[in-house]
A = this chain, B = another copy of it.
Amino acid sequence: MGVEKGMNLDKIVETTKRIDSFLLSNLKGEPSNLYKAASYLIEHGGKRLRPYLVIKSCELLGGSINQAIPAAAAIEMVHNFTLVHDDIMDNDEVRHGVPTVHTKFGIPVGILAGDLLFSKAFEVISNSKIQIPKVVSLSLVVALSKSCRDVCEGQALDISMAQSKTIPTESQYRKMVEKKTSSLFVASCAMGAISANTTQSDVNRLSIYGKNLGIAFQIVDDLIGVIGDPRITKKPVGNDIREGKKSLPILLAIKVAKGKEKTAILKAFGNLAISKSELGKAVETISTLGIEHTIRKKASYHLDTARKSISKYDNSAREDLLSLLDFVVKRSL
């Protein structure tokens, strides 16, 4: 992911400014090299989508931004910890337009910076300096540790899916996305709700919102990876086919395609040397197969489910959470 540009970004940045100062003040310490590595990505970008979700979920239930700050910071720390470690696993050298943490600081300090962010995330939601009830703190820890476990499982599924020679089923893909991507969205919304200190039913509703937002987000991201959107995402048309990514549109297309169509897709799949015209043919085939329509229908279903899950609330935070759903669809137009 990484395509959260558009109408909502200014609002997100404005809302999460106070999280940033809390975040960075909690990432100062010795040895300074380690703390610089841990705060490096946070200082160099990121859209704070997850802290925004924490704050809005908390506000939806009558809570204040002050109540949401520890959870919002913890989620952003965990999100960054996953980015730092994922970049090492994937040998990625650039993120947010700057060198990745391990490229700049070396792999050992990169691993440690991730571990430090992990530790700090649990520290900021449990220490006595924060003004939240102990029972709320403990519920935050439960939600955060479960989502960290899910993210690890999801990343492991993603690695084994990428290494496998077979094309995953939609249900395998779905499980991976729910764990790897969606679980931090669930945790963001659930922890926002928990911070507002209301009821388990509220937490459940917000979790449904977060889960479905996360899945829709990833599905749309997958679609952009195939149909391309150079204006917004800088991903060229057919990029994910060429790179052999087992994303939803590709695995659906391979499943339904037959004869020449299947040959055209499989020829381009994972073929870094493919010509532009042949890649274009594969993309066109996927489009002809009606995959784009299917994907958009799936995304709409999840966005509707998310919308309904917060229909009983009625305040400005609800409007913000609904706008965020629109934003997810619009970025693929």
Binding site for B on A (CB under 8 A): 29-31, 33-34, 81, 85, 88-90, 107-109, 111-112, 114-116, 118-120, 122-123, 126-128, 134-135, 137-138, 141-142, 144-146, 148-149, 152-153, 155-157, 159-160
Closest 5 CB pairs between A and B?
A119-B148, A89-B108, A122-B145, A34-B156, A119-B149
Known A107-B89, A111-B85, A156-B31; judge A122-B141 contact (CB<8 A). yes
SS class, residues of chain A in contact with chain B = helix
Asked if A138 and B111 sit within 8 Å, CB to CB, the answer is no
Question: Closest B-chain residue to A88, C-beta based?
Answer: B111
Q: How far is the CB of A116 from chain B (nearest CB, A)?
A: 4
Bound-complex Cα distance A123 to B153 (A):
14
List of B residues within 8 angstroms of A135 by Cβ: 134
Q: How far is the CB of A37 from chain B (nearest CB, A)?
A: 9
Asked if B149 and A120 sit within 8 Å, CB to CB, the answer is yes
Q: How far is the CB of A126 from chain B (nearest CB, A)?
A: 5
Q: How far is the CB of A108 from chain B (nearest CB, A)?
A: 4
Asked if A30 and B153 sit within 8 Å, CB to CB, the answer is yes
Asked if A31 and B160 sit within 8 Å, CB to CB, the answer is yes
A–B pairs, 19, beta carbons within 8 Å = A29-B153, A33-B156, A88-B107, A89-B111, A112-B159, A114-B115, A115-B152, A116-B149, A116-B152, A118-B148, A119-B149, A122-B144, A122-B145, A123-B142, A123-B149, A126-B142, A126-B145, A127-B142, A137-B138
